[in-house]
A = this chain, B = another copy of it.
Amino acid sequence: MPDSLTDLVEDLALANRILAHEGVLDAFGHVSVRHPRDPRRYLLSRSRAPLLVEPGDILQYTLDSAPVRPTSAALYSERVIHGCIYAARADVMAVCHHHSPAVLPFCVAGKAVVPVFHLGAAIGENVPFWDQRDEFGDTNLLVASAEEGRSLARALGPASVVLMKRHGATVVGGGLRELVSRAIFLCQNAEYQLRAIMLVAAEPLHRGEIERAGTLSLQPNVVTRTWEYWTTRLQASGAAPTRRVRAKRPTLPARATGKRRRLR
């Protein structure tokens, strides 16, 4: 776990780029983390494609999704998703909203995603659907008002993932690295589920399997391994964010490559 706010801001920039590099986020989508010392605040980038987010882009917000300090920066119009979920779920420390290609077919078809392999158990037994039409009729499908954000948070309930009809998904986690793993495993699970349906059918894991396998993504040894892998893949692509020089960062390889600054 990061030991300071600065480290957490750097990890959040890194998480933005990992999720973009692994195909969860594209020009859209966003990821936030709750403030480590003030649970009534959260950290989120200004409006920017996640692959480009730098530590300097990260702003602090109150739980009503207003920036703590006045800013002239453009902000994500859907940031209420984050504020409303942090307000409703004290256990949630990180939130990601995305439109990943793996999940969108399920959002369009209104087809439930169920955990179909061991890592997919990280999404939990029940992935609820939220249909904005039910309460709000025909909208532009963005979650831009506090009412919409609260409605989405109610639909999420105690779950780890909520699918949003014709729009995307929102994923939550007990920490940033857990969230990143869950978001990536959700996409893999959706892809395998779709292909299994094309072959025959896809039955969900048993409840006992979901409970046992679902804790895997929370284990420190698994999170350390996936975080190192995804970070190294991102660095090799030349798209890692800027980072201050620090004395010790054990899970990250040396960063002396000439390509590190290429995407900034």
- Interface on A for B, CB 8 Å cutoff? 26-28, 47-49, 51-52, 74, 99, 101, 104-111, 116-119, 121, 133, 137-142, 166-168, 188, 191-202, 205-209, 212-213, 215-216, 221, 224-226, 228-230, 232-233, 236-239, 253-254, 257, 259, 262-264
Q: Which of B191, B208, B230 contacts A138 (CB 8 A)?
A: B208
Alpha-carbon separation in the docked complex, A228 to B236 (Å): 22
A213 to chain B, nearest CB (A): 4
Q: Please determine whether A229 and B51 come into contact, CB atoms closer than 8 angstroms.
A: yes
Instruction: Quickly give the copy total for this chain.
Output: 4
Q: Please determine whether A193 and B225 come into contact, CB atoms closer than 8 angstroms.
A: no
Alpha-carbon separation in the docked complex, A116 to B194 (Å): 18
Alpha-carbon separation in the docked complex, A194 to B191 (Å): 14
Chain B residues contacting A213 (CB-CB under 8 Å) are 139-142
A49 and B229 contact, Cβ closer than 8 Å, known pairs A116-B108, A199-B106: yes
Q: Which of B99, B106, B200 contacts A111 (CB 8 A)?
A: B200
